[in-house]
Amino acid sequence: MFMPAHRKSTTPVRKTTRKKRPKARIEEVAAKSFGFQSLRPGQKEAVEALLLRKDCLVVMPTGSGKSAIYQIAALMLNGVAVIISPLIALQKDQVDAINSTEAPDAVVLNSTLRAFETRDAMDKIEEGKGKYIFLAPEQLRKQETIDKLANANVSLFVVDEAHCISEWGHDFRPDYLQLVPVIERLGHPVVLAMTATASPQVRDEIVKRLGMTKPKLFVHGFDRPNIYFRVDNFDKEQDKLGALVHRVHWADKPGIVYVATRKNAESIMCALEEQGVNAQFYHGGLKASERSDIQERFMSGAAEVIVATNAFGMGIDKADVRFVYHYDIPDSLDSYYQEIGRAGRDGENAEAILFYRSEDLGVQKFLSGEAKIETRKIERVGELIADQEAPVELEEIADQTDLSGRKLTKVIHRLEDVGALEVLPTGEVQVAENTEISEAASAAAEEQERRKEMNRERLRQMQEYAETAACRREHLLRYFGDDFSGPCGNCDNCQAETAAEKGDIKVDSSVGTRREVGT
């Protein structure tokens, strides 16, 4: 607490006092407004940086309290906070949580609102009644929304699930590419990007794509020592399937089995049900209502096991998941670590097992491959946009090309990457000034080839993990920039080495496999 005498002190004393005061206030606000008795590692430091108007990138696991950072910082900054999140259910949870505290009100804008609810939310924003404004990224296509925010004195712009802006990441969302022009329209408020998992490459792309200025980086909690890592190798598909079904049948539950295709999701669920396992399948081909019902069954415990593609994941925070098995190899270590991180969030023992056949790499190469796009087709798209007298929506030029919607979107992204196109907050596009279309098309084609090579490299890194004879935890954590050194004692390779030293197993170093004595 400050006493009058302190204000009469010399300049050095005043500086020391000021340094202490924000920290004390942060803890006071955290306790008084949100009921936090203490802050976790990284939370206070991130809030301090935001209060100094420094952009921040926070990488912390789910459940570590990332939301507390923007909640506290927003309350201490003049103006309002805009929080971008692709998860409507999570938005609702956050809004309900804030509105149940002593903090100012939170409002939400998303596609589930009825017309009168949307108007009510807009009115609150206009009247300054919402300190926290939650939005799905697609809401920023609407000019009315941007205009309201531009007049709302936004002091903090929060991007949750920030890995969605990175094509290096595991869940790229094109809508996230529209955030930069919105940030600029709002006068570039302080930007806070948050994600649970991001390798150095993903972090770099987040910073670049969000236009963050010399951001402070806070990375905490990559190691999950309670998760046991293992890779089981197979030559035949039928042996792999039999091993998975057997393992799931006897494993502690609940658990998740990840697969690469919708077909595998359905067929493996049937195989598990034949063994008496209460399982559900989940993939992007189901209706939204079906996916919601299946997810709720799993979250409530009505289903023991869910067999799913990577469509199942973001926002899943079930504390007691005892295993995450991968029947098919994922496309990258980013995807793999994000998915296995859903196990053991209660701190109890859990296991992450990859069921691996080297032949499966070919399937993943096909699924994650980047299509080659000819330079002349890219040039044609650029010319069509340039011929327009005003910004144009993609639908307006789609019929004039022979590209699929997916390829057209990639062309737009590549032209934007090389600075030839500007994507407006409305989703419309226009050619940047002084752009030479033919040169831009060549550069965009080269960028597309670079992306293809990037995907190949990601899969190669995943293959290295599957085939390493070293500590798997060290392999994973070092990929994410952690300096962890094995042995960890809780992966198959470390345990095999320990057993070998005791003479319990023999190691065949020529093929990198291990077998127990007598088997």
DSSP 440-462: HHHHHHHHHHHHHHHHHHHHHHH
pLDDT of residue 470: 96
Q: Mean pLDDT, to the nearest integer, of 393-411?
A: 83
Please give the distance of CA 230 from its chain centroid, rounded to a whole number: 24
Q: Name the average pLDDT for the chain.
A: 84
CB 133 within 8 A of CB 153: no
Q: State the pLDDT confidence band at 410, using cuts at 50, 70 and 90.
A: confident
What letter does residue 353 receive in the DSSP assignment?
Answer: E
Q: State the pLDDT confidence band at 511, using cuts at 50, 70 and 90.
A: very low
* Residue, of 353 and 79, whose pLDDT is higher: 353
* Residue, of 486 and 205, whose pLDDT is higher: 205
Distances (CA, A) of 194 to 108, 322, 419: 19, 26, 26
Q: pLDDT by residue (tens digit) across 220-265?
A: 878 899 999 999 999 999 999 999 999 999 999 999 999 999 999 9
pTM for the full predicted model: 0.78
Give the domain ranges of the chain.
Answer: 4-219, 223-368, 369-487, 489-519
Q: Mean pLDDT, to the nearest integer, of 54-69?
A: 86
Q: In the predicted model, is pLDDT for residue 23 greater than 70?
A: no
Q: Mean pLDDT, to the nearest integer, of 505-510?
A: 43
pLDDT of residue 504: 60
Q: In the predicted model, is pLDDT for residue 119 greater than 50?
A: yes
Pick the CATH number of 369-487 from 3.30.1330, 1.10.238, 1.10.1740, 1.10.10: 1.10.10
Q: Mean pLDDT, to the nearest integer, of 315-325?
A: 89
Cα–Cα distance measured from residue 260 to residue 283, given in angstroms and rounded to the nearest whole number = 10
* The amino acid at 205: E
* 223-368 matches 369-487 in fold: no
Pick the CATH number of 223-368 from 3.40.50.12780, 3.40.50.1220, 3.40.50.300, 1.10.150.80: 3.40.50.300
Q: pLDDT by residue (tens digit) across 442-485?
A: 998 888 888 888 888 889 999 999 999 999 999 999 998 888 88
Counting residues of the chain whose pLDDT is more than 70, the rounded percentage is 90
| 319 phi, psi to nearest 5 deg | -70, -30
Cα–Cα distance measured from residue 393 to residue 370, given in angstroms and rounded to the nearest whole number = 24
Q: Mean pLDDT, to the nearest integer, of 19-27?
A: 64
Cα–Cα distance measured from residue 247 to residue 197, given in angstroms and rounded to the nearest whole number = 28
* Residue, of 146 and 493, whose pLDDT is higher: 493
Cα–Cα distance measured from residue 312 to residue 299, given in angstroms and rounded to the nearest whole number = 12
Cα–Cα distance measured from residue 513 to residue 320, given in angstroms and rounded to the nearest whole number = 32
Q: In the predicted model, is pLDDT for residue 505 greater than 80?
A: no
Strand, helix or coil for residue 14: helix
Cα–Cα distance measured from residue 487 to residue 493, given in angstroms and rounded to the nearest whole number = 9
Q: In the predicted model, is pLDDT for residue 298 greater than 90?
A: yes
pLDDT of residue 264: 95
Q: pLDDT by residue (tens digit) across 156-214?
A: 999 998 998 887 666 778 778 888 889 988 999 999 999 988 888 889 989 998 999 89
**CATH of the domain spanning 4-219:** 3.40.50.300
pLDDT of residue 333: 92
